[in-house]
Amino acid sequence: MPRPARASSWEQYQVQAARRLVMANPANTYVGTVPDVLLAVPVLEIEVDADGDVRSIKVLRYPGQALDTVQIAIEAVRRAAPFGDVSRLPKPWRFAEVFLFDDNRRFMPRTLDVD
């Protein structure tokens, strides 16, 4: 994957991170229309260091079913890292991502669902 650009805001950083999640996990992601009924919606908080490497991942929301999707999301985050330099962004250096899982256990980061 290409080296991530330096983001000028947390909003820009989160979009860049969501795109990296999709690029790093092509077999586990989908793009386009989100299904009307989702299998699971885990939410992760990702803390990064100044270079964008993952320091920690905290589960903010466990889904009511398909608990294995939490581990799929965590592994996807680790594969996509580093997410880019955050040294010029305000602390704390962390962001949350919502993972929208379909019935095939593929996800789309909520950040990319612009509908």
- Structure confidence at residue 112 as a pLDDT band (50, 70, 90): very high
Specify if 5 maps to a domain: no
* Cα–Cα nearest to 7, from 101, 87, 111: 87
| 3-state SS assignment for residue 4 | coil
Domain that holds residue 30: 10-112
Cα–Cα dist 107/8, whole Å: 27
Flag whether pLDDT at 10 surpasses 90: yes
**C-alpha to C-alpha distances, 75 to 8, 44, 57, 81, nearest whole angstrom:** 27, 11, 10, 10
Residue 86 belongs to domain with CATH number: 3.30.1150
DSSP assignment string, 53-64? -EEEEEEEE--S
Cα–Cα dist 77/72, whole Å: 9
pLDDT at position 115 is: 55
Specify if 1 maps to a domain: no
How much is the pTM? Answer: 0.94
CA dihedral 88, 92, 97, 28 (to 10 degrees): 70
Query: Tens digit of pLDDT for each residue in 68-109?
Result: 999 999 999 999 999 999 999 999 999 999 999 999 999 999
Query: Tens digit of pLDDT for each residue in 35-63?
Result: 999 999 999 999 999 999 999 999 999 99
Structural domains in the chain (count): 1
Cα–Cα dist 5/13, whole Å: 9
